[in-house]
Amino acid sequence: MTENYTLKQSLYVRASMFTADELRRQKRLGLDAINENVLEGLLDQRAKFEGQQNNLVRSLTISLFLAFVAWSGGNIQVPGTGVSIAEIPAFLELSLITAAISVLMVTYSFLSLQLYSAVIAAVASNVLGKNKLDPDLFAAAHAPTWLFVKYCKAAPVDGRIPGYKVSKSGRVFYGVLVGSLSVILLTLWLLAIASILYIAHSGLSDNVAGWVVYATCIVIVFASFISMAANVVQFTHEMDFRFWKRWKPTEAISEAGPLLSEVRTTILGR
Protein backbone atom coordinates (compact mmCIF):
# COMPACT_ATOMS: atom_id res chain seq x y z
CA MET A 1 0.00 0.00 0.00
CA THR A 2 1.32 3.43 -0.84
CA GLU A 3 1.79 5.93 1.94
CA ASN A 4 -0.42 8.58 0.36
CA TYR A 5 -3.60 8.76 -1.69
CA THR A 6 -4.33 11.97 -3.57
CA LEU A 7 -7.62 13.22 -4.96
CA LYS A 8 -9.20 16.48 -6.03
CA GLN A 9 -12.19 17.66 -4.08
CA SER A 10 -14.28 20.76 -3.59
CA LEU A 11 -15.05 22.47 -0.31
CA TYR A 12 -18.44 20.67 -0.28
CA VAL A 13 -16.78 17.25 -0.52
CA ARG A 14 -14.13 18.29 2.01
CA ALA A 15 -16.83 19.20 4.54
CA SER A 16 -18.68 15.94 3.88
CA MET A 17 -15.58 13.79 4.32
CA PHE A 18 -14.37 15.51 7.48
CA THR A 19 -17.85 15.18 8.98
CA ALA A 20 -18.07 11.50 8.04
CA ASP A 21 -14.64 10.92 9.58
CA GLU A 22 -15.71 12.65 12.79
CA LEU A 23 -18.88 10.56 12.95
CA ARG A 24 -16.87 7.36 12.64
CA ARG A 25 -14.69 8.48 15.54
CA GLN A 26 -17.80 9.18 17.60
CA LYS A 27 -19.10 5.70 16.84
CA ARG A 28 -15.77 4.09 17.76
CA LEU A 29 -15.79 5.92 21.10
CA GLY A 30 -19.42 5.02 21.74
CA LEU A 31 -20.58 8.64 21.62
CA ASP A 32 -22.76 8.47 18.52
CA ALA A 33 -25.97 8.69 20.57
CA ILE A 34 -25.72 12.49 20.51
CA ASN A 35 -25.69 12.61 16.71
CA GLU A 36 -29.48 12.81 16.52
CA ASN A 37 -29.45 15.98 18.61
CA VAL A 38 -26.66 17.36 16.43
CA LEU A 39 -28.75 16.66 13.34
CA GLU A 40 -31.77 18.46 14.77
CA GLY A 41 -29.60 21.44 15.68
CA LEU A 42 -28.03 21.59 12.23
CA LEU A 43 -31.44 21.59 10.57
CA ASP A 44 -32.68 24.38 12.83
CA GLN A 45 -29.60 26.49 12.19
CA ARG A 46 -29.82 25.99 8.45
CA ALA A 47 -33.45 27.12 8.50
CA LYS A 48 -32.38 30.28 10.35
CA PHE A 49 -29.56 30.81 7.88
CA GLU A 50 -32.00 30.56 4.97
CA GLY A 51 -34.11 33.25 6.62
CA GLN A 52 -31.03 35.45 6.94
CA GLN A 53 -30.23 34.90 3.28
CA ASN A 54 -33.72 36.02 2.29
CA ASN A 55 -33.24 39.19 4.34
CA LEU A 56 -29.91 39.81 2.59
CA VAL A 57 -31.55 39.47 -0.81
CA ARG A 58 -34.18 42.00 0.22
CA SER A 59 -31.45 44.34 1.48
CA LEU A 60 -29.64 44.02 -1.84
CA THR A 61 -32.80 44.74 -3.82
CA ILE A 62 -33.71 47.82 -1.77
CA SER A 63 -30.19 49.27 -1.72
CA LEU A 64 -29.83 48.79 -5.49
CA PHE A 65 -33.19 50.47 -6.08
CA LEU A 66 -32.23 53.44 -3.92
CA ALA A 67 -28.82 53.70 -5.59
CA PHE A 68 -30.51 53.74 -9.00
CA VAL A 69 -32.94 56.45 -7.88
CA ALA A 70 -30.11 58.61 -6.53
CA TRP A 71 -27.96 57.98 -9.62
CA SER A 72 -30.76 58.88 -12.06
CA GLY A 73 -31.53 62.14 -10.26
CA GLY A 74 -34.80 60.96 -8.79
CA ASN A 75 -35.99 61.95 -5.38
CA ILE A 76 -38.28 60.11 -3.00
CA GLN A 77 -39.21 60.77 0.59
CA VAL A 78 -38.02 58.36 3.25
CA PRO A 79 -41.17 56.75 4.73
CA GLY A 80 -41.99 57.95 8.23
CA THR A 81 -39.81 61.04 7.99
CA GLY A 82 -39.96 64.42 6.34
CA VAL A 83 -36.58 63.89 4.69
CA SER A 84 -35.99 63.08 1.02
CA ILE A 85 -33.01 61.10 -0.23
CA ALA A 86 -31.65 64.21 -1.97
CA GLU A 87 -31.21 65.80 1.45
CA ILE A 88 -29.14 62.92 2.83
CA PRO A 89 -25.38 63.52 2.43
CA ALA A 90 -23.50 60.88 0.39
CA PHE A 91 -26.69 58.88 -0.11
CA LEU A 92 -25.49 57.35 -3.39
CA GLU A 93 -22.19 56.30 -1.82
CA LEU A 94 -23.94 54.73 1.16
CA SER A 95 -26.39 52.88 -1.08
CA LEU A 96 -23.60 51.48 -3.25
CA ILE A 97 -21.54 50.31 -0.28
CA THR A 98 -24.64 48.68 1.23
CA ALA A 99 -25.46 46.95 -2.05
CA ALA A 100 -21.89 45.69 -2.47
CA ILE A 101 -21.80 44.34 1.08
CA SER A 102 -25.18 42.68 0.52
CA VAL A 103 -23.86 40.92 -2.59
CA LEU A 104 -20.86 39.68 -0.64
CA MET A 105 -22.96 38.45 2.27
CA VAL A 106 -25.38 36.70 -0.10
CA THR A 107 -22.49 34.74 -1.62
CA TYR A 108 -21.08 33.91 1.83
CA SER A 109 -24.55 32.80 2.90
CA PHE A 110 -24.96 30.64 -0.20
CA LEU A 111 -21.59 28.98 0.40
CA SER A 112 -22.43 28.37 4.06
CA LEU A 113 -25.77 26.80 3.13
CA GLN A 114 -24.01 24.43 0.73
CA LEU A 115 -21.66 23.35 3.52
CA TYR A 116 -24.59 22.98 5.91
CA SER A 117 -26.17 20.66 3.34
CA ALA A 118 -22.97 18.60 3.12
CA VAL A 119 -22.68 18.24 6.89
CA ILE A 120 -26.40 17.51 7.32
CA ALA A 121 -26.27 14.82 4.62
CA ALA A 122 -23.33 13.12 6.35
CA VAL A 123 -24.91 13.25 9.81
CA ALA A 124 -28.31 12.18 8.51
CA SER A 125 -26.76 9.18 6.74
CA ASN A 126 -25.26 8.14 10.06
CA VAL A 127 -28.37 8.73 12.17
CA LEU A 128 -30.77 7.24 9.63
CA GLY A 129 -28.46 4.40 8.58
CA LYS A 130 -30.49 1.72 10.34
CA ASN A 131 -33.79 2.46 8.64
CA LYS A 132 -32.13 3.38 5.29
CA LEU A 133 -34.23 6.54 4.95
CA ASP A 134 -33.07 9.03 2.35
CA PRO A 135 -31.42 11.90 4.29
CA ASP A 136 -32.87 14.45 1.87
CA LEU A 137 -36.41 13.40 2.83
CA PHE A 138 -35.59 13.81 6.51
CA ALA A 139 -34.19 17.28 5.83
CA ALA A 140 -37.22 18.20 3.71
CA ALA A 141 -39.51 17.23 6.59
CA HIS A 142 -37.84 19.86 8.78
CA ALA A 143 -37.31 22.74 6.36
CA PRO A 144 -38.79 23.86 3.02
CA THR A 145 -36.68 22.85 0.04
CA TRP A 146 -36.92 22.72 -3.74
CA LEU A 147 -37.49 18.98 -4.08
CA PHE A 148 -37.88 19.21 -7.86
CA VAL A 149 -34.11 19.78 -8.08
CA LYS A 150 -33.54 16.46 -6.29
CA TYR A 151 -35.95 14.42 -8.39
CA CYS A 152 -34.72 15.87 -11.66
CA LYS A 153 -31.44 14.00 -11.14
CA ALA A 154 -30.87 10.65 -12.84
CA ALA A 155 -30.18 9.12 -9.41
CA PRO A 156 -32.26 11.11 -6.88
CA VAL A 157 -30.92 9.14 -3.91
CA ASP A 158 -27.14 9.39 -3.59
CA GLY A 159 -25.40 6.03 -3.45
CA ARG A 160 -28.37 4.05 -4.80
CA ILE A 161 -28.98 2.78 -8.31
CA PRO A 162 -32.35 4.18 -9.45
CA GLY A 163 -35.08 1.60 -10.00
CA TYR A 164 -36.79 3.84 -12.55
CA LYS A 165 -34.88 5.30 -15.48
CA VAL A 166 -36.28 8.31 -17.30
CA SER A 167 -36.19 8.53 -21.09
CA LYS A 168 -33.66 10.63 -22.96
CA SER A 169 -36.25 13.33 -23.64
CA GLY A 170 -37.10 13.35 -19.93
CA ARG A 171 -33.45 13.76 -18.98
CA VAL A 172 -33.14 16.66 -21.41
CA PHE A 173 -36.28 18.32 -20.04
CA TYR A 174 -35.20 17.94 -16.42
CA GLY A 175 -31.72 19.16 -17.31
CA VAL A 176 -33.17 22.27 -18.93
CA LEU A 177 -35.46 22.82 -15.93
CA VAL A 178 -32.64 22.77 -13.38
CA GLY A 179 -30.14 24.38 -15.74
CA SER A 180 -32.41 27.32 -16.49
CA LEU A 181 -32.87 27.91 -12.76
CA SER A 182 -29.10 27.96 -12.24
CA VAL A 183 -28.57 30.28 -15.21
CA ILE A 184 -31.28 32.71 -14.07
CA LEU A 185 -29.97 32.92 -10.51
CA LEU A 186 -26.39 33.34 -11.70
CA THR A 187 -27.49 35.99 -14.21
CA LEU A 188 -29.34 37.95 -11.52
CA TRP A 189 -26.26 37.81 -9.30
CA LEU A 190 -24.02 39.06 -12.12
CA LEU A 191 -26.59 41.73 -13.04
CA ALA A 192 -26.55 43.05 -9.47
CA ILE A 193 -22.75 43.23 -9.56
CA ALA A 194 -22.72 44.91 -12.97
CA SER A 195 -25.29 47.47 -11.79
CA ILE A 196 -23.22 48.34 -8.72
CA LEU A 197 -20.03 48.80 -10.73
CA TYR A 198 -21.75 50.77 -13.52
CA ILE A 199 -23.50 53.16 -11.15
CA ALA A 200 -20.29 53.58 -9.15
CA HIS A 201 -18.25 54.23 -12.30
CA SER A 202 -20.66 56.74 -13.83
CA GLY A 203 -22.33 58.31 -10.80
CA LEU A 204 -19.66 58.89 -8.19
CA SER A 205 -17.83 62.18 -7.93
CA ASP A 206 -14.40 62.44 -9.55
CA ASN A 207 -12.59 63.12 -6.29
CA VAL A 208 -10.76 61.19 -3.60
CA ALA A 209 -13.94 60.20 -1.76
CA GLY A 210 -15.58 59.00 -4.97
CA TRP A 211 -12.57 56.91 -5.97
CA VAL A 212 -12.32 55.42 -2.48
CA VAL A 213 -15.95 54.27 -2.65
CA TYR A 214 -15.42 52.95 -6.18
CA ALA A 215 -12.31 51.00 -5.14
CA THR A 216 -14.12 49.66 -2.09
CA CYS A 217 -16.97 48.36 -4.25
CA ILE A 218 -14.47 46.65 -6.57
CA VAL A 219 -12.69 44.95 -3.66
CA ILE A 220 -15.98 43.73 -2.17
CA VAL A 221 -17.16 42.43 -5.54
CA PHE A 222 -13.84 40.63 -6.04
CA ALA A 223 -14.27 38.95 -2.65
CA SER A 224 -17.78 37.85 -3.66
CA PHE A 225 -16.39 36.21 -6.81
CA ILE A 226 -13.89 34.28 -4.67
CA SER A 227 -16.71 33.16 -2.37
CA MET A 228 -18.85 32.02 -5.29
CA ALA A 229 -15.93 30.18 -6.91
CA ALA A 230 -15.38 28.27 -3.65
CA ASN A 231 -18.56 26.31 -4.44
CA VAL A 232 -17.00 24.62 -7.48
CA VAL A 233 -13.21 25.00 -7.42
CA GLN A 234 -11.31 21.83 -6.54
CA PHE A 235 -7.86 21.34 -5.03
CA THR A 236 -5.70 18.28 -4.59
CA HIS A 237 -5.92 16.70 -1.15
CA GLU A 238 -3.63 14.03 0.20
CA MET A 239 -4.74 11.21 2.46
CA ASP A 240 -1.77 10.12 4.59
CA PHE A 241 -1.99 6.42 5.44
CA ARG A 242 0.75 6.87 8.03
CA PHE A 243 -1.99 8.38 10.18
CA TRP A 244 -3.81 5.07 10.24
CA LYS A 245 -0.67 3.27 11.46
CA ARG A 246 -1.29 4.85 14.85
CA TRP A 247 -4.34 2.62 15.16
CA LYS A 248 -4.43 -1.08 15.87
CA PRO A 249 -4.59 -3.10 12.61
CA THR A 250 -8.24 -4.04 13.09
CA GLU A 251 -9.18 -0.44 13.91
CA ALA A 252 -7.21 0.93 10.96
CA ILE A 253 -8.99 -1.40 8.55
CA SER A 254 -12.41 -0.57 9.99
CA GLU A 255 -11.69 3.17 9.81
CA ALA A 256 -9.70 3.59 6.59
CA GLY A 257 -11.78 1.20 4.51
CA PRO A 258 -15.10 3.03 4.93
CA LEU A 259 -13.33 6.36 4.50
CA LEU A 260 -12.04 5.40 1.05
CA SER A 261 -15.52 4.15 0.20
CA GLU A 262 -16.89 7.51 1.35
CA VAL A 263 -14.38 9.26 -0.92
CA ARG A 264 -15.65 7.39 -3.96
CA THR A 265 -19.33 7.73 -3.06
CA THR A 266 -19.08 11.45 -2.27
CA ILE A 267 -17.16 12.31 -5.43
CA LEU A 268 -19.50 10.33 -7.67
CA GLY A 269 -22.49 11.85 -5.88
CA ARG A 270 -21.29 15.35 -6.64
In whole angstroms, what is the distance from residue 269 CA to residue 254 CA? 23
Contact 122, 19 (CB under 8 A): yes
Structure confidence at residue 98 (pLDDT): 94
| DSSP output for 186-199 | HHHHHHHHHHHHHH
Q: Which residues on adjacent β-strands are paired with residue 4?
A: 240
| Helix, strand, coil share (%) of the chain residues, nearest 5 | 75, 5, 20
Angle formed by the axes of helices 91-127 and 35-71, to 10°?
160
Contact 270, 10 (CB under 8 A): yes
pLDDT tens over the chain, length 270 residues: 455 667 778 888 888 888 887 887 777 777 666 677 888 888 888 888 888 999 999 999 999 998 888 888 777 776 666 677 777 788 889 999 999 999 999 999 999 998 988 888 888 877 776 666 777 777 777 777 788 877 788 777 766 676 778 888 888 998 899 899 889 999 999 999 999 999 999 888 788 888 999 999 999 999 999 999 998 888 877 766 565 555 444 444 444 444 444 444 444 444
In whole angstroms, what is the distance from residue 10 CA to residue 39 CA? 23
- Neighbouring C-beta atoms of residue 228, cutoff 10 Å: 20
CA dist 110 to 52, 115, 178, 184, 229, Å? 11, 9, 17, 15, 11
CA proximity to 255, closest of 14, 21, 17, 4: 21
Q: How many CA atoms lie within 13 A of 20 on its CB side?
A: 23
Structure confidence at residue 5 (pLDDT): 65
Structure confidence at residue 184 (pLDDT): 94
User: Phi and psi at residue 238, in whole multiples of 5°?
Assistant: -120, 125
Residues contacting residue 93 through CB under 8 Å, at least 6 positions apart = 204, 209, 210, 213
CA proximity to 228, closest of 112, 69, 80: 112
Phi/psi-derived region of residue 80, left when phi > 0, alpha when psi is between -120 and 50, beta in every other case: left
Q: Which residues on adjacent β-strands are paired with residue 239?
A: 5
CA 59 to chain centre: 19
